[in-house]
Amino acid sequence: MRVLAALSGGVDSAVAAARAVDAGHEVVGVHMALSRTRDQFRTGSRGCCSIEDAGDARRAADALGIPYYVWDLSEQFEQTVVADFLAEYEAGRTPNPCVRCNEHIKFAALLDKAVALGFDAVCTGHYARIVVRDDGTRELHRARDAAKDQSYVLAVMGPERLARSMFPLGDVASKDETRAEAAARGLSVSAKPDSYDICFVADGDTQGFLRSRLGSRPGEVVDTSGEVVGEHDGAYAYTVGQRRGLALGRPAADGKPRYVLSIEPVANRVVVGSADELVVDTVTADQAVWYSRLDTGDCQVQVRAHGAPVDARATVHDDRVEVVLPTGLRGVAAGQSLVLYDGTRVLGQATVTSSRRALAAR
User: DSSP for 257-298?
Assistant: --EEEEEETTTTEEEEE-SGGGEEEEEEEEEEEESS--SEEE
Task: List phi, psi (to 5°) of 288.
Answer: -70, 140
Beta sheet of 269-273, edge-to-edge order: 228-232, 219-222, 269-273, 259-264
Options 48, 49, 199, 299, the catalytic residue: 199
Q: In the annotation, is 123 catalytic? A: no
Options 48, 49, 101, 123, the catalytic residue: 101
CA angle 289, 295, 299 (to 5 degrees): 75
**Residue 48 CB partners (closer than 8 Å, separation 6+):** 8, 9, 10, 195, 199
Compute the distance between CA of residue 264 and CA of residue 286 in angstroms, rounded to an integer: 20
Contact of 281 with 361, CB cutoff 8 Å: yes
- CA-based Rg of the chain, rounded to a whole angstrom? 22
Compute the distance between CA of residue 36 and CA of residue 200 in angstroms, rounded to an integer: 10
**What residues are paired with 350 via a beta bridge?**
338
Q: In the annotation, is 48 catalytic? A: no
> Taking phi first (over 0 means left), then psi (-120 to 50 degrees means alpha), and beta for anything else, what does residue 58 get?
alpha
**What residues are paired with 25 via a beta bridge?**
none
User: How many residues comprise the chain?
Assistant: 362
Compute the distance between CA of residue 104 and CA of residue 256 in angstroms, rounded to an integer: 42
Instruction: Tell me which amino acid residue 90 is.
Output: E
In angstroms, the Cα distances linking 94 to 125, 239, 303, 360 are 26, 6, 11, 22
Contact of 339 with 302, CB cutoff 8 Å: yes
Nearest to 299 by CA among 313, 281, 318: 313
What sections of 130-279 are H helices per DSSP?
151-154, 158-162, 175-184, 206-214
Give me the active site residues, please. 101, 199
